Amino acid sequence: MTTLVTGGSGLLGSEIICAKGTTIKPSHRELDVEDYCQLKRYVQTYRVDRIIHCAALVGGVKANSERNYDFFQKNLKMNLNILDVCREFSLKGSVFILSSCIMPKDGALPYREDSLHLGEPHSTNYGYSYAKRMLQVGSQALWEQYGINTTCIIPCNLYGKKDNYRLESGHVIPNLIHKCFLAKQNKTDFVVWGSGNPEREFMYAEDLGKIITHGNLPYVGSMIVSPGMSHTIRETAEIISEKMGFSGKIVFDSEKPEGIIRKPTDNSVFRRHNPDFQFTTLEQGLEKTIEYFVKHHENLRL
């Protein structure tokens, strides 16, 4: 079996090596997923049997708020191309990566798999959210019309070594790590956007890589994957500060946007399939990520 991993050098894709068969991870230069003709030729040339679709335009609150159309257009184009090539070549058993941030802003908590379309997403990332939701819709339609089974994974907030650490577009944890690093280096305050009160479930990317390649996934449908434990942004910033040896002041800027306050998930479907899986704790994962960042920061996406 040949498995194509899109976004193979990114945060999650870099952690995926399939246990059976051949895993291929083309760079963006080798394969532009937004170009259907390229994607079709690649699948034909390498005789791809299934796709693990990790590629996406992603970003934090600032980037999503300012570029909603970009996030909508680029992700929708990629996702439709992936769905079309699965249909055209009857690629079964593919895995599509969604995100818990696309859930309804006013939905009942904790979020469940069937919560996805029960309301509008948060205004700060509606472009990204609707594009990702359509991936789930397409996945369901592929099964109903063509009998092509795929699995949609809905992970909580991911972080890890190969993250995007850019201050303008990174997610919360890589952004905080970079900010704390600069604050320590420049002897300034460690400034965190928002009140610090929002809660997030965080998962070390290596864990999800293991689940995708070695865990038990539903034959068809969606599955939330999360440790089932939330941490405030304040708590997370304090752990990062301690792990980085920062002794200065942490300042929370309440004038800046902070996204939805809470978005806990129900991981009972995941636990039914993988009852014994042990997640990396936030402290352990942050320690590994910070160690990697400090050692390699000159070559990372900053």
Task: Give the strand pairing for 22-24 and 2-6.
Answer: parallel
What token pair was written down for 173? Answer: 């944890």
Active site (annotated) includes residue 146? no
Contacts of 80 (CB under 8 A, 6+ apart): 134, 138
| Cβ partners under 8 Å of residue 171, min gap 6 | 58, 59, 60, 157, 158, 159, 163, 164
Query: Which residues fall within 8 angstroms of residue 103, CB to CB, at 6 or more apart?
Result: 111, 115, 116, 121, 263
Catalytic residue among 42, 126, 128, 204: 128
Decide: residue 209, CB within 10 A, 0-12 exposed, 13-18 middle, 19+ buried.
buried
Query: Quick check: 46 and 4 in contact, CB under 8 A?
Result: yes
Residue pair 2/21 in contact by the 8 Å Cβ criterion? yes
DSSP string, 145-188: HH---EEEEEE-EEE-TT-B--TTT--HHHHHHHHHHHHHHHT-
Catalytic residues: 128
